Chains A and B, each alone.
Chain A
Amino acid sequence: MKEPIVSSILFYIFAFLTLGSAFLVVYLNSIMRAALSLLFSLIGVAALYALMAADFLAAAQLLIYVGGILILILFGVMLTQRIYTVQVFAGKSQVIPGAVVSLGLALCLIVSIWSQHFSSQGHLENLPTTGRIGQLLLTRYVLPFEVASVLLLVALIGAAFLARKEVK
């Protein structure tokens, strides 16, 4: 049956898209290009969610991360750059220690992941998750749901207050 082969190929394509774009995010000197690479990285993460049968999360990722947070970051980039000057100061500092730390971290994580013996799941089900997430949010997780609404209200007021112009 050729279904595992297709899904394996798709996994490697989406993983390469996500990780390649993430590398460009942290490597490029131009902030606009780094923000656009972040766009492709977030789309790759949404594709990985879809491969893992998390349909609601793939759609939510596209709506909120790509359509909200990334646009916000682009606004932040455009409001804080003097785009008419030549000098782009989005460089890097202390690359060698940073690279050593992140490579060591990646090695430790990958070694500990592949030395574990996770029990193999027998049959993976691909049921739609939206209805079940909705039921869980209103029965078992209703307290975090309400607290998250209050937190979003506080963040909204706080961000609007912090970014106001001083009226002299």
Chain B
Amino acid sequence: MIGLQHYLTVSALLFSLGVFGVLTRKNAVSILMGIELILNSANINFVAFSRYTSAGLDGHIFVVFSIALAAAEAAVALAIILGIYHRLQTIDVDKAQELKG
């Protein structure tokens, strides 16, 4: 019988895979994909708690806003990555070291 803890386990494993992607990848778009995995794991947590406890639909509402914010954040992050690519001709995050504009 699948319960709350099974979904929380899936979410925890997805979160740790996303953290591994953010920590080890050199490509900026790969780091963005790891961040999307982390956001999805948190969303699974919200929906699981909304389903298996008496919390009502508050978890679903939070996931609606989380998806909207993830879309906005992905758009801005990719605009920044495009700006870095125009400036440095690469998106290796190890090469983007100077703070001066």
Query: A residues touching B (Cβ–Cβ < 8 Å)?
Result: 4, 7-8, 11, 15, 18-19, 22-23, 25-26, 31, 34-35, 38, 41-42, 45, 48-49, 51-54, 56-57, 60-61, 64-65, 68-69, 72-73, 75-77, 79-80, 89-95, 97-99, 101-103, 105-106, 109-110, 113-114, 116, 118-121, 124, 129, 132-133, 136-137, 141, 144, 148, 151-152, 155-156, 158-160, 162-163
Find residues 51-101 in chain B having any chain A CB closer than 8 Å to their own CB.
51-54, 57, 60-61, 63-65, 67-76, 78-83, 85, 90-92, 94
Can you pick out 5 interface pairs between chain A and chain B where the beta carbons lie within 8 Å of each other? A52-B48, A64-B71, A65-B71, A75-B78, A93-B24
Closest chain A residue, CB of each to CB of B40: A45
Distance A105 CA – B14 CA, assembled complex (angstroms): 11
Closest chain A residue, CB of each to CB of B48: A52
What are the nearest 4 A-B pairs in CB distance? A26-B21, A155-B72, A109-B12, A106-B16
Query: Which residue of A116, A151, A162 contacts B79 across the interface (Cβ within 8 Å)?
Result: A162
Residues of A within 8 A of B74 (CB): 69, 72-73
Residues of B within 8 A of A114 (CB): 5, 9
Q: Is the CB of B16 within 8 A of A121?
A: no
Query: Which residue of B44, B79, B80 contacts A45 across the interface (Cβ within 8 Å)?
Result: B44
Query: Which residue of A15, A57, A120 contacts B60 across the interface (Cβ within 8 Å)?
Result: A57
Q: Is the CB of A64 within 8 A of B72?
A: no
Q: How many A-B residue pairs have CB under 8 A?
A: 227
Shortest Cβ distance from residue A120 to the other chain B in the assembled complex, whole angstroms: 7
Answer whether A90 and B26 are a contact pair too, CB < 8 Å, given A22-B37, A48-B7: yes
Shortest Cβ distance from residue A125 to the other chain B in the assembled complex, whole angstroms: 10
Answer whether A141 and B75 are a contact pair too, CB < 8 Å, given A52-B47, A80-B81: no
Q: Is the CB of A163 within 8 A of B51?
A: no
Q: Is the CB of B67 within 8 A of A61?
A: yes
Closest chain B residue, CB of each to CB of A56: B60
Residues of B within 8 A of A42 (CB): 36, 40
Q: Is the CB of A76 within 8 A of B24?
A: no
